[in-house]
């Protein structure tokens, strides 16, 4: 096959599908899609792009995994920090230190109402060191 | 005998650049006119590059949509049609990737044209089909350069500008394509 014959053949290539193409219908379909895109807000279009969806899904997974890991890592530390030292060290604390510990533990109760707050404050002052230790152990459960 | 009045010259049709500017200004008819001008050439290019006949319509639409979306990036480095054909090449590549199959040139329907001598028609159809098969075996650059040159009649300068290469490299791609196609068709 010569070069001109090959070029002639190439020029015929795809001629039939092109002839069958309904150009008017194609133009109307293109215009309809362009109109639809113009109506759609730009932000919605951006977020509909697959890349953004993938990034968003990855971010959600990473955040979720981070929260789960944080919960697993921190929870035991929190419980030992609040319970173990108090249980172990009660015998070494003075009455004043015990009252201070009680006040810090009872802080949420104190803030619940003026009447309750005053009662607890007053009651702690009147307790001995042993009574305070016993009360602390009770509060620890 | 009354003298015929001189016929006023018909106004020249607006250039592609003028239609693009009009479309960017919101003129939908300008976009429609661009589709009318270039849709068939685009369909021929896509079919030649291996688009299944049943998909040509959708691929033409998708190419125009992408072109109109990105027309702000068109800097006139080549003709609008040439730029459109290169976008068509990308659309076809994406479609083939989505379909997870190699693009194929359909044989059956193309061979059932009902004009001319049936034997000649069958022979011509077979040769075209073989050429299509040969084309899909070429690297994409060689295939597109060959189609832009042999099918669309573009010069190397224009092809190089559209494909982001040099005219010399485009020439080399073309000659490689011709050599391999001749071997395939022999």
Structure tokens at A116: 């309750």
Candidates B148, B59, B57; CA nearest to A19 is B57
Mean pLDDT of B118-127: 66
Least CB-CB distance to B40: which of A13, A23, A30? A23
| DSSP H or E run through A91 | none
**Greater model confidence, B184 or A132:** B184
Least CB-CB distance to B128: which of A12, A35, A37? A12
The model's confidence at residue B114, banded by pLDDT at 50, 70 and 90, is very low
Tell me the nearest-neighbour CA distance from B57 into chain A, angstroms: 6
Chain A / chain B CB contacts < 8 angstroms? 107
pLDDT, residue B152, reads 94
On chain A, the residues whose CB falls within 8 A of the CB of B148 are none
**Greater model confidence, B169 or A111:** B169
DSSP secondary structure of B68-123:
HHTGGG--SSS-HHHHHHHHHHHHHHHHHHHHTS------TGGGG--SS-HHHHHH
pLDDT digits (tens, 9 = 90+) for B76-113: 889 999 999 999 999 999 998 888 655 554 444 443 33
Counting as low any pLDDT under 70, the low residues of chain A are 41-49, 75-90, 104-124, 139-141
pLDDT digits (tens, 9 = 90+) for A76-102: 555 444 545 555 566 777 778 777 777
Give the Cα separation of A81 and A78 in Å (integer): 5
pLDDT, residue A113, reads 45
pLDDT, residue B119, reads 58
pLDDT, residue B110, reads 42
Structure tokens at A40: 């759609």
B63 three-class SS: helix
Candidates A10, A20, A35, A38: best to mutate against B (most CBs of B within 10 A) is A10
Task: Tell me the longest C-alpha to C-alpha distance in chain A.
Answer: 115
**Greater model confidence, B155 or A94:** B155
Structure tokens at B124: 């011509």
pLDDT, residue A44, reads 63
Q: Is the pLDDT of residue B34 over 90?
A: yes
**Mean pLDDT, all residues of chain B:** 85
Q: Do B40 and A35 touch (CB under 8 A)?
A: no
On chain B, the residues whose CB falls within 8 A of the CB of A26 are 35, 39, 57, 60-61, 64
Angle between helices B16-24 and B28-48 (to 10 degrees): 120
Q: Note the pTM of the prediction, 2 decimals.
A: 0.62
Tell me the nearest-neighbour CA distance from B2 into chain A, angstroms: 42
pLDDT, residue A52, reads 75
Candidates B144, B136, B143, B145; CA nearest to B171 is B145
Q: Determine phi and psi for B7, rounding to 5 degrees.
A: -75, 125
């Amino acid at each position: 096959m010569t070069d001109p014959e090959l070029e002639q053949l190439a020029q015929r290539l795809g001629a039939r599908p092109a002839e069958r193409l309904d150009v008017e219908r194609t133009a109307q379909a293109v215009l309809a899609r362009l109109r639809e895109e113009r109506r759609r807000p730009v932000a919605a279009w951006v977020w509909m792009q697959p890349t953004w969806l993938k990034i968003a899904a990855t971010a959600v997974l990473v955040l979720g995994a981070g929260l789960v890991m944080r919960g697993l890592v921190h929870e035991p530390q929190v419980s030992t920090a609040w319970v173990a030292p108090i249980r172990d060290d009660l015998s070494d604390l003075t009455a004043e230190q015990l009252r201070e510990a009680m006040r810090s533990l009872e802080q949420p109760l104190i803030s619940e109402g003026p009447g309750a707050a005053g009662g607890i404050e007053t009651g702690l002052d009147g307790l001995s060191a042993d009574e305070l230790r016993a009360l602390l152990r009770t509060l620890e459960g | 005998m009354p003298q015929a009045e001189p016929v006023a010259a018909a106004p020249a049709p607006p250039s592609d650049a003028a239609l693009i500017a009009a479309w960017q200004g919101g003129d939908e008819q300008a976009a429609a006119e661009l589709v009318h001008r270039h849709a068939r050439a685009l369909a021929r290019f896509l079919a030649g590059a291996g688009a299944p006949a049943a998909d040509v319509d959708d691929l033409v639409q998708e190419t125009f949509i992408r072109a109109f979306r990105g027309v702000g990036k068109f800097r006139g480095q080549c003709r609008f049609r040439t730029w459109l054909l290169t976008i068509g090449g990308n659309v076809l590549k994406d479609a083939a990737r989505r379909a997870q199959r190699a693009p194929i040139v359909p044989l059956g329907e193309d061979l059932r044209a009902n004009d001319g001598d049936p034997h000649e028609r069958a022979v011509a159809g077979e040769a075209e089909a073989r050429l299509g098969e040969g084309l899909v075996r070429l690297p994409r650059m060689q295939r597109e350069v060959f189609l832009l040159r042999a099918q669309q009649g573009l010069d190397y300068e224009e092809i190089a500008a559209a494909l982001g290469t040099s005219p010399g490299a485009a020439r080399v791609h073309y000659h490689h394509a011709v050599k391999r196609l001749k071997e395939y068709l022999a």
